[in-house]
Structure 1
Amino acid sequence: MGNTRGAAAFAVWYLRVVASVNFLSAVWVTLGQDVRRHNQADFFTPYLLTAGFAPGLFTAFLAVTMSRRKRAAWILNLGLSGAFLGLFALAMAFPEIRSHSQNWVSLALTAAFVVALLAGRRAFYAKGDRSNPRLAAAVGAGGLLGASLLAALLVTVTNRASEPSTFLERWRYGALRLVSVAADGRRLSGIAPPTWVDVAVNVLSTALLLAVLYAAFRSRRAVDPLTEDDEKRLRELLDRHGERDSLGYFALRREKSVCWSPTGKAAVAYRVVGGVSLASGDPLGDPEAWPGAIEPWLAEARAHGWIPAVTGASEEAGTVYARHGLDALELGDEAVVDVAEFTLEGRAMRTVRQACNRVRRAGYTVRVRRHEDIPADEMAYLLRRADDWRDGAAERGFSMALGRLGDPRDGRCVMLECTDADGELRALLSFVPWGPHGLSLDLMRRDRHGDNGLTEFMVIELLRRARESGIAQVSLNFAVFRSVFERGARLGAGPVLRLWRSLLCFFSRWWQIESLYRANAKYRPVWEPRFLLFEKSADLPRIAVASARAEGFLEAPGLPGLPGRPRRGRLETRR
């Protein structure tokens, strides 16, 4: 196993070095000239060392896909390098080529790379999507047709030749330049585009090549979502162990998939986003059976080349995941209110008390019902109002939001409806069950024209009535990096902590990081830490982008796996 990993690592680093030399050759003129001269004369450079940005991008792409253990990338590299090595060996039969010492060095490097590929073949096990070959062929054919037509159009518009030429000739010129990167225009007297057009067509060729490679090597984008049987079994686990995790009910989001333990006593709910297998919250079920669900989830991620990550895990679950090779980063804290301990008395609660009294004097009232007790016509009205108040078209939430409202199977969820003195609905809160004696906030919607303090009024009303309904604890919003805001504002905080707090305050202009912390701190909750779990620190940027996409803060237009533009607005769902 050690030899296999060492050989695989050598192959990946070989590609990284070659990519670096290719990029360096593009900016270092003399080095680039030397490499090109060797390729054109009776000299041979090592596999994929051709000088320039385009081969550098190609080699870098292969290095990335090989580092992710993609089987398809291994097959491509073995085929190309094996063919190159075979031709190289045949060429060495000629004395004039064999006499140059640099050719022997090139032959040795290429042979070492091929041997490393063969020795490390078992390390490249990640499967691609079965549709990748068809998609790559479609992208290549369609892209070549579109790019060649665009190249012909550019040549037509900018052609400086004095002699006439047909569009078919200009199209052939553009297509040849796309394929060969350097079409000989001297043979076509009627075609003389400026240099920048040739460069633009070459850039277009590189972009097309990368698009084809992406389509050929992309990871499997998704697995089977929850089936009715999966959801039934998950609900049974929640009935038996749902009180362990306030986020357990959110495993029922239907775009998620699930990995079961062999005994069926535990499960990991996850979603694949941008090549990241993103689990949320703690595993469901019996903690003793958690390893049995974590292991197949990790095995599936590695089999498909996905990056495994967990967002919003508790300390108990983080400890179990750590035994399976995942590292932990404190993500923030969850605000949990103990109903028996909560009180509005005291100076610390004066602001909340005053806000509630002001709203109550204005004639607002709160109605609390289970979803199953709301008639269908009334639920339809609530859904319309919730949609009207939503900020933006995208529904936000993944790890700490259910992503749906009014589903008949969520009848045990609790709805709070706040109406003004005229009986007009002004705000909604929806909570999901947290075991038999808890509630977890799922949805927050309010009319922007309603009075300030509506949310505080509704939460206080829920806590007041919770004692009568047997509810012992209520989970509110999640505060990202809560400890940074709290410790960074204290006297004597260090410069690094103050800088970190300043950065979070800056980004709070878009994502309300600080305001969520302050909005929940006023209830004097118990702060329960939540963690982000990952295998390698180098994967954190991709995990962050995948989490943002899953939560609805980033959209990915066009090609899958690319982040979109962040949406600005207040948080509409729970966290």
Structure 2
Amino acid sequence: MVSQGTAVRTRPAGVALPGLVDRPRSVPSTIAWLVRFSAVLAFLTEAAPGHGVEGGPFDIISDGVGFATAMASAAAMLLLAGGLRRRNRRAWRFALGVVAAGVLAHLQTQRFAVAAVYLVVLVVLVHGRDEFTARSQRRSRLAAIRVFLVMGGGSMVAGLLLASRTAPHSAFGDRVVEVFFGLLGFAPQLRFRDSGLSELTGIALGTLGAFTALFTLAAMLAPVRKPPVRTADDEQRLRDLLARFGQHDSLGYFCLRSDKSVIFSASGKAAVAYRVLGGVSLASGDPIGDYEAWPGAIEAWLAEAELYGWVPGVVGTSEAGALVLKRYGLDALELGDEAVVDLAGFTLEGRAMRGVRQAVNRCVRAGYTCRVDRQKDLAPAVLSELGAAAEAFRGEEVERGFSMALSRLGDVAADPDLALAQVRDADGRLVAVLGFVPWGATGLSLDLMRRARGSENGTVEFAVAQVAEATRGWGVKRISLNFAVFRAVFARGARVGAGPVLRLWHRVLLLVSRWFQVESLYRANAKYHPDWVPRFVSFRRSLDLPRIALAALEAEAFVARPHLPRWLHPQRGR
């Protein structure tokens, strides 16, 4: 069997892999760290002994309003640092204004060391201005206005309610004016019931104003979102590429998921399918299309990420894809292995397959039967039954999938060649449903695997064996099963002679397996003795890995990112 990694060694001579003009990415990153450092320095200076009353370095009673304002400024700079790291032009403009104001403020308060640091940051910002070219969300200004009006109005109401308690003898008009200026960071001048209430009210108003400003700034600096929208022409072009080159990658067909965008090479002979989540442009699998045209598609994808300041990342790429991506500055880390069963050598005979054979025989004795059909050959009533059963067998509230799941059972018009295996018990009741998407003309890739909880132990093994036997007659030569994360660790971690680091990593994964199906997926695949095809995650910098991992978990529906109410943030789109 030829693995995906073989394509690199058999690449035709003379295929050019031109690289993008790589920006000096260290400049925005360095500036972002300088801004973070100056923010922390300002915080420590404000909180240092001597800035509060006697009794501790963080006593803010004597100058609470000033402290709250300083902390808000430091938080704003940390927020701006994130935008600067993404090379956001709008973040650069805001940072320039904030740092310039910080220089003047610290000179006025005679904090010359902090002012000097701010001045250095200001000079570096001006010097590196050409590096900050990433665009902002087109409608983020509208979002910021919404956030400002909602939070500002709420803060104003909350401030008036507080002032009515702490300064009840002040006129209502005076309270309105002083609360407004209190939200801006000025100490309120009202007839308070007690002198201590003046400082408390000032701190509360300053905090409310700071949160309003910070949330407004966050809305202004929000990464550009891109909705997963494809035209009918894009869809057809993708299907044409799959028809010609779909055999290259077992994950290729999953580019047709409706939650993925697509970008084509200039020649139209290759494409990258991806999704934008939290400022990460997350692709999955290899580019679709002619291997010689992959560089053009990768260049187009990276150029778009560069334009909007997205972090590029790829999950589940093959060795061939990882090597091409490396030419464009993306490093690779082995994520795990894909289990691929070669039907030419697959048999239930022999000692190695004893476990699978026993499971299959157990189901045969129980009267189980399995039928395998193309989706287009099934009656609508049967498709409806299979869809309802798959939904009932899922056992989870959300449908998971992004890189290795289609999640579109029953859509005959979109996926006529989807292969479905239906397993029924002796009474004719449906107990398992398996779905496989096409992998070129001679392969299948697992999409769906669901079984009833009360079904016979070994139902899945029975279904896989029956699918392998039935699809040989269709000309199928290989079947891709589940993906085993960190498969090599499980395979080698428990062996004699494993090093201390590998043994420790093995123990950690065993602990994680209590909550996630990590080891169990490996064991479930290993029993078929498949060919293990390595898959990688590609990334620009090691510091980007946490963001890429979070985006991948969100795409697979394992985590949900908190969002503002829909009516507060910009409309979907650029």
TM-score (norm 2): 0.85
Alignment of 1:120 with 2:128, yes or no, is yes
Q: Which has the higher contact order (CA 8 A, sep 6+)?
A: 2
Aligned residues: 537
User: 1 CA distance for matches of 2:559 and 2:337?
Assistant: 23
Alignment of 1:312 with 2:316, yes or no, is yes
Partner of 1:44: none
Alignment of 1:496 with 2:516, yes or no, is no
Alignment of 1:384 with 2:388, yes or no, is yes
Alignment of 1:477 with 2:482, yes or no, is yes
User: 2 CA distance for matches of 1:555 and 1:52?
Assistant: 33
User: 2 CA distance for matches of 1:283 and 1:4?
Assistant: 26
Find the residue that maps to 1:509 and give its secondary structure: coil
Q: 2:370 aligns with which of 359, 366, 370?
A: 366
Partner of 2:156: 148
Find the residue that maps to 1:477 and give its secondary structure: strand
Note if contact 2:46-2:67 (Cα within 8 Å) is conserved in structure 1.
no
Identity rate of aligned residues, in percent? 47
Partner of 2:81: 63
Partner of 1:514: 519
- Cα displacement (A) at 1:340: 0.9
Structure 1 residues 382 and 4: CA distance shift in structure 2, 3 A: closer
Structure 1 residues 260 and 400: CA distance shift in structure 2, 3 A: same
Q: 1:451 aligns with which of 447, 453, 456?
A: 456
Note if contact 1:476-1:520 (Cα within 8 Å) is conserved in structure 2.
yes
One-letter code of the match for 1:16?
Answer: R
Alignment of 1:217 with 2:221, yes or no, is yes
In the alignment, structure 2 segments of 5+ residues that lack a partner are 1-20, 59-65, 567-574
Q: 1:349 aligns with which of 343, 348, 353?
A: 353
User: 2 CA distance for matches of 1:482 and 1:525?
Assistant: 12
One-letter code of the match for 2:560?
Answer: E
Q: 2:287 aligns with which of 276, 283, 289?
A: 283
User: 2 CA distance for matches of 1:327 and 1:32?
Assistant: 49
Find the residue that maps to 1:230 and give its secondary structure: helix
Structure 1 residues 469 and 166: CA distance shift in structure 2, 3 A: farther
Note if contact 1:334-1:479 (Cα within 8 Å) is conserved in structure 2.
yes
User: 2 CA distance for matches of 1:356 and 1:236?
Assistant: 39
Find the residue that maps to 2:514 and give its secondary structure: helix
Partner of 1:559: 564
Note if contact 2:337-2:533 (Cα within 8 Å) is conserved in structure 1.
yes
Partner of 2:397: 393
Note if contact 1:164-1:190 (Cα within 8 Å) is conserved in structure 2.
no
Structure 1 residues 375 and 4: CA distance shift in structure 2, 3 A: closer
- Cα displacement (A) at 1:214: 1.4
- Cα displacement (A) at 1:164: 5.1
Q: Deviations over 1:244-288 (max 9, x none)?
A: 100000011111111111110000110001110000000011111
Find the residue that maps to 1:469 and give its secondary structure: coil
Find the residue that maps to 2:433 and give its secondary structure: strand
Q: Please, which moves more after superposition, 338-347 or 117-126? A: 117-126
Structure 1 residues 194 and 506: CA distance shift in structure 2, 3 A: farther
Alignment of 1:462 with 2:467, yes or no, is yes
Partner of 1:416: 421
Structure 1 residues 179 and 489: CA distance shift in structure 2, 3 A: same
Structure 1 residues 426 and 436: CA distance shift in structure 2, 3 A: same
Alignment of 1:130 with 2:145, yes or no, is no
Structure 1 residues 204 and 360: CA distance shift in structure 2, 3 A: farther
Partner of 1:529: 534
- Cα displacement (A) at 1:175: 4.7
Find the residue that maps to 1:430 and give its secondary structure: strand
Alignment of 1:25 with 2:33, yes or no, is no
Partner of 1:543: 548
User: 2 CA distance for matches of 1:463 and 1:381?
Assistant: 23
- Cα displacement (A) at 1:556: 2.1
TM-score (norm 1): 0.85
One-letter code of the match for 1:66?
Answer: L
User: 1 CA distance for matches of 2:47 and 2:22?
Assistant: 38
Q: Deviations over 1:326-366 (max 9, x none)?
A: 00000000000000111111222111111111111111111
- Cα displacement (A) at 1:150: 3.5
Find the residue that maps to 1:530 and give its secondary structure: strand
Structure 1 residues 558 and 175: CA distance shift in structure 2, 3 A: farther
Note if contact 2:333-2:538 (Cα within 8 Å) is conserved in structure 1.
yes
Structure 1 residues 116 and 541: CA distance shift in structure 2, 3 A: same
User: 1 CA distance for matches of 2:111 and 2:200?
Assistant: 36
User: 2 CA distance for matches of 1:188 and 1:176?
Assistant: 16
Structure 1 residues 365 and 151: CA distance shift in structure 2, 3 A: farther
User: 1 CA distance for matches of 2:173 and 2:356?
Assistant: 76
- Cα displacement (A) at 1:513: 0.6
Q: Deviations over 1:389-418 (max 9, x none)?
A: 222332101011113221122000100011
One-letter code of the match for 2:329?
Answer: G
Find the residue that maps to 1:510 and give its secondary structure: coil
Q: Please, which moves more after superposition, 267-276 or 142-151? A: 142-151
Note if contact 2:174-2:190 (Cα within 8 Å) is conserved in structure 1.
no
- Cα displacement (A) at 1:207: 3.2
Find the residue that maps to 2:550 and give its secondary structure: helix
- Cα displacement (A) at 1:209: 2.6
Structure 1 residues 497 and 10: CA distance shift in structure 2, 3 A: closer
One-letter code of the match for 1:12?
Answer: A
Q: Deviations over 1:357-382 (max 9, x none)?
A: 11111111111110101112221222
- Cα displacement (A) at 1:451: 1.9
Note if contact 1:238-1:248 (Cα within 8 Å) is conserved in structure 2.
yes
Partner of 2:62: none
Find the residue that maps to 2:483 and give its secondary structure: strand
- Cα displacement (A) at 1:119: 2.9
Find the residue that maps to 2:405 and give its secondary structure: coil
- Cα displacement (A) at 1:176: 4.1
Structure 1 residues 549 and 191: CA distance shift in structure 2, 3 A: farther
One-letter code of the match for 1:18?
Answer: S
